Amino acid sequence: MIRWSTTIVVVILAAVAAVVSYRHALEVVAAHGESGLTAYLVPLTIDGLVFASSMVLLDAARRGARRPKLAYFTLALGIAATLAANVLHGIAHGPIGAVVAAWPAAALVLSYELLMGLIRRSAVSDDVKPDIVTNDLGAVDVMNGSKIEVQESVVPVQVEPVRDVKPDIPHHLDEPPVVEVEVQPDLVPEPDADAPYRPVAVATFLAEVAQGEPPTVRTIKDKLNVGTDRARRLQAYLGGLVETSGLANSN
Domain assignment of residue 50, yes or no: yes
147's CB contacts (< 8 A; 6+ apart) are 137, 138, 139, 140, 141
Say if residues 147 and 139 touch (Cβ distance below 8 Å): yes
Its domain, for residue 234, covers 193-250
Q: Does one domain contain both 204 and 112?
A: no
Domain assignment of residue 154, yes or no: no
DSSP category for residue 152: -
Domain assignment of residue 136, yes or no: no
Which of 111, 128, 145 is the C-terminal boundary of a domain?
A: 128
Q: Does one domain contain both 95 and 18?
A: yes
What's this model's pTM, rounded to 2 decimal places? Answer: 0.44
Domain assignment of residue 197, yes or no: yes
Say if residues 92 and 77 touch (Cβ distance below 8 Å): no
pLDDT at 133: 46
Domain assignment of residue 153, yes or no: no
Q: Does one domain contain both 14 and 120?
A: yes
DSSP category for residue 242: H
Domain assignment of residue 45, yes or no: yes
Q: Does one domain contain both 8 and 110?
A: yes
Q: Does one domain contain both 6 and 87?
A: yes
The region that residue 154 occupies, defined by phi over 0 for left and psi between -120 and 50 for alpha, beta otherwise, is beta
Distance CA 64, CA 229 (A): 107
Say how many domains are in the chain. 2
Percent of the chain exceeding pLDDT 90 equals 2
Residue pLDDT, tens place only, 18-65: 888 888 888 888 888 888 898 899 889 888 888 888 888 888 888 888
Which of 91, 106, 128 is the C-terminal boundary of a domain?
A: 128
Domain assignment of residue 238, yes or no: yes
Q: Which residue from 73, 77, 90 is spatially nearest to 25, judged by alpha carbons?
A: 90
Distance CA 76, CA 206 (A): 128
Q: Does one domain contain both 123 and 204?
A: no
Domain assignment of residue 246, yes or no: yes
pLDDT at 175: 58
Q: Does one domain contain both 6 and 124?
A: yes
Residue pLDDT, tens place only, 85-95: 889 988 888 88
Distance CA 61, CA 56 (A): 9
Residue pLDDT, tens place only, 64-78: 888 889 988 998 998
Q: Where are the beta strands (DSSP E) in the chain?
A: 132-135, 138-141, 147-148
Which of 110, 128, 146 is the C-terminal boundary of a domain?
A: 128
